[in-house]
């Protein structure tokens, strides 16, 4: 069975949010839309997003790193959101493995959001239905588009090519080769949901920092040598 999925390279994701905005644009006007925003320019903006990028600082100064972590529905092969749905609104397509929500059946009970260990489901506050990433199902199945364009909008928008898309069950696909050769991994596999989306790990980098480089050479305190202040006049003592 075909299992379509995303493979995200954490080593080259720069956190530009192009994937977030392109996802919002496409899906707001597409099959899964609209994706509403409430008070987008106020102090507490809320809204519905299929894809978010979380940014973390890890390590201890000066050996710190910034990690950008895109996250959306992982289109699990054993999706826990499907069996808990009381109306059958959550389902997995048998032809390509994409997990979707039928808005005509969804009653907004949130059972699926409680069952999902990845927090991928969001309640649309206006339509009162649960929404999530569809892998741009209306786009990837549109035979009128060229093969190049039959990809999720986030993949096409990524300027760093951090996102790959394809069939993870095909051993010769680009995504399967990347997972196999570059150590791709699933998020929280201990839950047994078999997420179809994978992440490519950040490569270890070594950076040598000279301790003297951590001190400002133009530090005015250092110029006046106030570290060993002996009572002489300094710039702070001058009356202008």
Burial zone of 84 (CB within 10 Å; 0-12 exposed, 13-18 middle, 19+ buried): middle
Q: Do 32 and 152 form a contact (C-beta atoms < 8 A)?
A: no
User: Would you say 109 is a known binding-site residue?
Assistant: yes
Would you say 133 is a known binding-site residue? Answer: no
| Rounded Cα distance, 99 and 115, in Å | 14
**136 annotated as belonging to a binding site for a ligand:** no
**Rama region for 17: left / alpha / beta (φ>0; ψ in -120 to 50; rest):** left
Q: Round to whole Å and give the CA distance between 172 and 159.
A: 25
Helix (H, G, I), strand (E, B), or coil: what is residue 66?
A: strand
Is position 158 annotated in a ligand binding site?
Answer: no
What are the binding residues for [4Fe-4S] cluster? 13, 16, 19, 23, 73, 76, 81, 85, 106, 109, 112, 116
What are the binding residues? 13, 16, 19, 23, 73, 76, 81, 85, 106, 109, 112, 116
């Amino acid at each position: 069975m075909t299992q379509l999925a995303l493979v995200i390279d954490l080593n080259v994701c720069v956190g530009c949010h192009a994937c977030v905005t392109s996802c919002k644009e496409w899906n707001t006007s597409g099959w899964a839309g609209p994706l509403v925003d409430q008070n987008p320019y106020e102090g507490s903006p809320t809204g519905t997003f299929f894809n978010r990028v979380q940014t973390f600082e890890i390590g201890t100064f000066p050996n710190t790193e910034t990690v950008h972590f895109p996250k959306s529905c992982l289109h699990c092969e054993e999706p826990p959101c499907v069996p808990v749905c009381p109306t059958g609104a959550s389902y997995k397509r048998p032809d390509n493995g994409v997990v979707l929500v039928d808005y005509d059946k969804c009653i907004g009970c949130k059972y699926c959001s409680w069952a999902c260990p990845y927090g991928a489901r969001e309640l649309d506050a206006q339509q009162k239905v649960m929404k999530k990433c569809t892998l741009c199902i209306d786009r990837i199945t549109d035979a009128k588009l060229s093969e190049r364009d039959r990809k999720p909008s986030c993949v096409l928008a990524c300027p760093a090519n951090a996102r790959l898309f394809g069939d993870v069950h095909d051993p010769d696909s680009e995504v399967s080769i990347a997972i196999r050769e570059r150590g791709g991994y699933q998020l929280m596999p201990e839950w047994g949901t078999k997420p179809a989306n994978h992440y490519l790990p950040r490569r270890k980098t070594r950076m040598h920092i000279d301790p003297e480089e951590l001190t400002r050479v133009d530090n005015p305190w250092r110029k006046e040598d106030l570290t060993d202040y002996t009572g002489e006049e300094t710039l702070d003592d001058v009356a202008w």
